[in-house]
Amino acid sequence: MKEEALRELLSIRAENEYVEFKEAKSNFQFEKLVDYCVALGNEGGGYVVLGVTDKHPRKVVGTQAFQEPERTVAGIHERLRIKVRHFEFILPEGRVLVFQAPSRPRGGWYDHNGRILMRAGESLVTMSSDRLKEILAEGGPSFLERPATEVLPEADVIAQLDVQSFFDLRKIPMPATRGEILKAFANRHLIEPEGTGYLITNMGALLFAKDIELFPSVAHKAPRVVVYEGATKAKVKDGKDRQGKLGYAAGFERMISFIQAELPGEEEYQGGIRNVKYAYPIRAIRELVGNALVHQDLNEHGSSVKVEVFSDRIEISNPGLPVLAVERFIDEDQTRNLQLAAEMRRFNLYEGRGQGMDEVVSLIELHQLPPYGVRLGTRQTTVVLSRYRPLKNLTQEEKISAVYQHCVLRYVTNRITNNESIRERFKVEAKNSAAATRLLGDAVKSGQIRLVDPSAGYRSWRYVPFWG
């Protein structure tokens, strides 16, 4: 590793699946280092960086730990029988020590003193039995490819799947014969021929089940919508706590319609025609719900995609932590469920991170809403869409997030972020341009955006995301 690679690591906004930062100014426990090497190795390999603050903007503070790193890696090898590499940097700000843990073998894992470790937020925990089963199954079919049923005769397959929705979503007529219908489903690996019948795959059941509870392997993944009386979970509104019954594709429009019916709105009459202006753009909700379905961790058990409607916000949660850094949701596209994403796109129910989220931000700005928020739990991701509040009522964190999201959106669409664009985003009058300048300055100080050319006159200042 060269210093340039280290500086690139330090620029990461948040600790992710392959890097762990520790200040360790004076020392760091050897046993803890071994544990982190085990956890990072079990997650595909990564780096333990000592002598650096773990919060962004990250600073080098220097470390005195492990003055003989060669002996340290030899000790790790003795414990784990794996080859950990080390890199030592003497920078003007202080000494930085990096340990690189290799990835676990396919179908296997590392353990320390009998503990098979993984990371959960800021903690190290014992790997769950579900995750161990997933590792053991590596090399076999993916979750989506596995069968959800025993071999069924043709008539039972047709009876258990919403075949009409399949063709309606594709906007083509449904074939006249059962054989042609089944061939169309088999071509998309929603069913697989087996002997004289067919197996319905987990993907087929997830997308087109008429009753998802009939498929035990995916029944717990049915999406849930809960509507609350106010801004807390104290009371469910009129018993509106609904678990989905149809598969994702078959039931998507019904779920969105149910959510839409529960949104606050104002009636407008134009030319005698009644229109409802909702508090949230429906297209943004569609994108966020589609994202949650596609990006969930299908190997997580005991939770499902959940949409919670409060009086002041909507929270959309999915099992599992994101595979992308939160800051890159708008401009990048990566999912752990490529097959599911492809099928949802085929049916126009999902755009993709790099397209769907930039549309969400565009709609947020069009409707002058606060920025979307992301909350990471230990095993789930929640995206929050809030109702309109004037600029003066936004928190400092929300203002900075709004500027960052605006800057990313402008960056990926080849437009300039400057004082004028910020005034447009927040509907600030030109005579109050100093307010836009303060918003930009605060975002720069936070490390979320940066000035392209500080030597230019302030009227020519333009900004890009911190990674731009």
In angstroms, what is the C-alpha Rg of the chain? 25
Mean pLDDT of 182-204: 96
Report whether pLDDT(146) > 90.
yes
The domain made up of 224-386 is a member of CATH 1.10.3720.10: no
Considering the chain, tell me which residue range(s) the CATH 3.30.950.30 domain(s) occupy.
3-136
| Residue scoring higher pLDDT (61 or 129) | 61
Report the topology of domain 3-136: 3.30.950
DSSP conformation class of 84:
-
**Which of 82-86, 273-277, 408-412 is predicted with the least confidence, judged by mean pLDDT?**
273-277
Range 27-47 average pLDDT: 94
> Are 426 and 436 a contacting pair, CB within 8 Å?
yes
Q: Where does the pLDDT of residue 365 fall: very low under 50, low under 70, confident under 90, or very high at 90 and above?
A: very high
Confidence of residue 276 (pLDDT cuts 50, 70, 90): low
Q: Alpha helices, DSSP H only, in 151-247?
A: 154-160, 163-170, 178-187, 202-208
What was the pLDDT predicted at 11?
Answer: 79
Residue 355, pLDDT score: 64
Sign of CA dihedral 452, 453, 456, 457: positive
Query: How far apart are the C-alpha atoms of 21 and 392, rounded to whole Å?
Result: 36
pLDDT value of residue 353: 47
Q: Are strands 380-386 and 306-309 parallel, antiparallel or unpaired?
A: unpaired
Question: Which pLDDT score, from 0 to 100, does residue 18 have?
Answer: 84
Of 93-97, 298-302, 413-417, the range with the lowest mean pLDDT is 298-302
User: Is residue 102 reached through a cis peptide bond, with omega within 30 degrees of 0 on the bond before it?
Assistant: no
Q: What are phi and psi of 411, to 5 degrees?
A: -65, -45
pTM over 0.75: no
The pLDDT of residue 336 is above 90: no
More confident residue, 141 or 271: 141
In this predicted model, what pLDDT tens digit does every residue of 378-394 receive, in sequence order?
A: 889 999 999 999 999 99
327, 193 Cβ separation under 8 angstroms: no
Highest mean pLDDT among 132-136, 184-188, 325-329: 184-188
From the candidate CATH numbers 1.20.950, 3.30.450, 1.10.287, 1.10.10, the one assigned to the domain spanning 391-465: 1.10.10
Q: What is the mean pLDDT of the chain?
A: 91
Rounded to the nearest 10 degrees, the angle between the axes of helix 178-187 and helix 163-170 is 70
Encode 113-150: b = buried (16+ Cβ within 10 Å), e = exposed: eeebbbbbeeebeebbeebeebbeeeeeebbbeebbbe
Tell whether the torsion through CA atoms of 442, 447, 449 and 450 is positive or negative: positive
Q: In 162-311, where do the E strands start and end?
A: 191-194, 197-200, 224-228, 236-243, 265-270, 273-278, 306-309
CATH 3.30.565.60 spans which residues of the chain?
A: 224-386
